[in-house]
Structure 1
């Protein structure tokens, strides 16, 4: 009895578990490859964009430079947020410092939402895949033992083979979960560093715009 025969013998449950693990693996690896590319570019973009911003002579000139440097659009929304709304609306209520704090916070949250995209899927796969594999193991062992019992004489060699093959489902669950957990932790550290850089930039930008408006 091989692994595929065991899945076929287990019926819809074993087949469903195998397909679910396959789907979870494919989805997690797609996210891992995409986020590795995104965060690699984002880390470089943030460093270069912030440097280009402070080397500019004005916010207008900085915005033009960032359009070329900031490919992932992480710094540019913070700069654009300094264009405060006017009029008799709640968005324009409060003094300049309050308005800047509000719009920069909203822009920063939008950027961080983009960076965090896919993290929930990795966390979900990492935490549930072992249990999905365990379900397949339990179901496979159950059907293997039922088949052995109906065959008549029970010996160690007849039990160890099917049970060992059923345990492969647990190994498959771990094989799906481990890359997702590792990627989640690595990406979390990268996102944390980018977030710290953006928060520091947003704070400096707020003070710059506030002081420039006060001196006018």
Structure 2
């Protein structure tokens, strides 16, 4: 009689696993899907924001005066630079019309600086969406895979103890299950780590560009005599 050849494919090891193994496998798959979803969304969002931001900056700084520049700012800004410009124009209008609270106790430059800084902080929170997800997946996926590995080795030891033999046909399933969980955990974590580092660097560069734009915008708004029509394009 010919020996029965066991199927040692990837899914066969998962099928042989118990509820815990399959649950860990599903968790790692969900982590991988979330990770790649964030990566693709952030990648394409970054391209769109870069193109729109460059176009707005070029048109904004090409304007002859504040009135022409204000006309470029829409009611619902499409870029971070446009949001800064809108908040700056509105802050200038409020200061010109008189602020009846503690924010208006300082000079115009101090008030505009405060408004632009708050806007920059809000923009930073927005562009950092998804970074925490990648960091969490990068940190936890290897441990989820490691837990699956330990669980597989445990099954292998139980099989050896119950049969009294450590032959390959007895331990191949549990050991293969353990190795697969290790590899799957690393396969999920490595792209997440690389994407997290890339996003952190890109966000740092983007915030640097926005800081420069806010500084130049502050200088323009602080020294220019503004009217209501100039200061609030969406009033």
Same fold by TM-score, threshold 0.5 exceeded?
yes
1:183 equivalent in alignment to 2:189: no
Match of 1:81 in 2: 87
* Cα distance, 1:182 vs structure 2: 1.1
Tell me by how many angstroms 1:153 deviates.
2.1
Structural mapping, 1:1-216, within 5 Å:
2=8, 3-67=10-74, 72-82=78-88, 83-84=90-91, 85=94, 86-156=98-168, 158-160=170-172, 162-213=174-225
* Alignment: residue pair count: 213
Between 1:170-179 and 1:159-168, the stretch displaced more is 159-168
Task: Give the conservation status (yes or no) of the 8 Å contact 1:9–1:143.
Answer: no
Equivalent-residue separation in structure 2 for 1:121 and 1:81 (angstroms):
30
Q: Distance in 1 between matches of 2:161 and 2:44?
A: 53
After superposition, what is the alpha-carbon deviation per residue over 1:59-82, rounded to whole angstroms, capped at 9, x for unaligned? 3422433549x9742111111112
Secondary structure at the residue paired with 2:72?
helix
Bigger Rg, which one: 2
| Contact in 2 for aligned 1:148/1:158 (Cα 8 Å) | yes
* Cα RMSD after superposing both structures: 2.4
Q: CA deviation at 1:142?
A: 0.5
Query: Gaps spanning 5+ residues in structure 1: where?
Result: none
Is the CA contact 1:63–1:76 (under 8 Å) kept in the aligned structure 2? no
What TM-score do the two structures reach when normalised by structure 2? 0.81
